[in-house]
Amino acid sequence: MKSGIDLTHINAAIRPQDDLYRYMNGSWIENSEIPADRPIHGAFHVLRDMSEERTREIIEQADPTKGNEAAQIAALYQSFMDEALIEKLGMTPIKAELDLV
62-93, pLDDT tens digit by residue?
Answer: 887 888 888 888 888 888 889 999 999 999 99
Q: Which domain holds residue 92?
A: 33-99
In a domain, 6, yes or no: no
Does 17 map to a domain?
no
Angle at the Cα of 39 from the Cα atoms of 53 and 43, rounded to 5 degrees: 50
Residue 88 in any domain: the answer is yes
Give the number of domains in the chain.
Answer: 1
pLDDT in the model for residue 23: 96
Predicted TM-score (pTM) above 0.85: no
> Residue 3 CB: number of other CB atoms within 10 A?
6
Q: Among the residues of 35-94, which ranges form H helices?
A: 43-61, 69-81, 83-89
CA distance linking residue 69 with residue 74, whole number of Å: 9
CA separation (Å) from 18 to 8, 15, 23, 59, 76? 19, 5, 8, 50, 54
Q: Does residue 25 form part of some domain?
A: no
Kindly tell me if the per-residue pLDDT of 3 is higher than 80: no
Mean pLDDT across 40-44 = 87
